[in-house]
Amino acid sequence: MSELAPTGMDAHKPAEITRRIRLTGIAKAEMALVPLITLSVLAGIFIGFGALFYTKTTSGLDVLYPPILLLGGLAFSLGLILVVVSGAELFTGNTMIVMAVVDGKVSLAKLLRNWSIVLLGNLIGSMIILALVYWAGLFKGDVAERAMQVAVAKTSLTWVEAFCRGVLCNALVCLAVWMTVSARTTSGMIMAIVWPITGFVAMGMEHSVANMYMIPAGILSGADISFGAVLNNIFPVLLGNIVGGAGGVALFYRIAYGNTAG
């Protein structure tokens, strides 16, 4: 057994993860505007890469067949792997800053500043990769057909369905981020990400930033979707993501481990 892991487990324990997530939340809330918006744009691009990989991987196949859903989920994991390992600011993960707010380490104003800037940056990044993919001529054939199917399915959800799927999605996304903090190696971080992300995609949950790419991708591919229908998905999913990440993960662990040192 190593000195770093006297118990034989080379991973940070949950109480230590809680402390580190809190400190990370403080750092995110204090980040200057230029790096914050820059890293937020990158996160939108990275999630777009994952969404494109998912669309390409599942195109031309019967996506109702469970192994195909599993394959698509594995492909989509690319997005969060890039965000976490390369370093970027993703709104869904930043919902956990709420823990630092509850402990009085971050003001509500700074939380809302972070969320608004990061959301804007994520949207800009999504639009950048969307434009590049469109101009690259990738929305054709089976890929275009799959992009339309995804967009129509997402915008056909009711508010309640979209909200609940948003809650469930971001609980898994934030658990993935949470577990990466336990890892001491890059490979450990990647493994912590893959299964929760694969799970939420395969189970049909809703991620607000991914939808900023996937719904417009379907529209550019030919889907007849109104702007109102887009908002009818994005808003409830966004609210659900906040509840799933801030309440379903951050606050539950805050209750479990209290205001640990840091």
Q: What is the per-residue pLDDT across 40-75, written as a single tens digit (0 to 9) for each?
A: 999 999 999 999 999 999 998 776 677 888 999 999
**pLDDT tens figures, 160-216:** 999 999 999 999 999 999 999 999 899 999 999 999 999 999 999 999 999 999 999
For 188, the enclosing helix (H) or strand (E) is helix 186-202
Q: Compute the distance between CA of residue 75 and CA of residue 94 in angstroms, rounded to an integer.
A: 23
For 115, the enclosing helix (H) or strand (E) is helix 108-135
User: Residue 250: how many CB atoms within 10 A of its CB?
Assistant: 25
Q: Compute the distance between CA of residue 21 and CA of residue 245 in angstroms, rounded to an integer.
A: 12
Would residue 27 be called left, alpha or beta, if left means φ above 0 and alpha means ψ between -120 and 50 degrees?
alpha
* pLDDT-derived band at 257, boundaries 50, 70, 90: confident
For 92, the enclosing helix (H) or strand (E) is helix 91-94
Check if the beta carbon of residue 85 is closer than 8 Å to that of residue 186: yes
Q: Is the pLDDT of residue 18 over 50?
A: yes
Which residue from 143, 164, 144, 149 is spatially nearest to 206, judged by alpha carbons? 164
Tell me, what's the pLDDT at 262?
53
Q: What is the CA radius of gyration of the chain?
A: 18
Q: Is the pLDDT of residue 7 over 70?
A: no
Burial class (CB in 10 A: 0-12, 13-18, 19+), 247: middle
Q: Output the average pLDDT for the chain.
A: 92
Tokens (6 digits) for 208:
């607000």
* pLDDT-derived band at 2, boundaries 50, 70, 90: very low
Tokens (6 digits) for 5:
């892991």
Burial class (CB in 10 A: 0-12, 13-18, 19+), 62: exposed
The percent of residues in the chain predicted with pLDDT above 70, rounded, is: 94
CA 25 distance to own-chain centroid: 16
Q: Compute the distance between CA of residue 71 and CA of residue 213 in angstroms, rounded to an integer.
A: 20
Tokens (6 digits) for 108:
């509500």
* pLDDT-derived band at 115, boundaries 50, 70, 90: very high
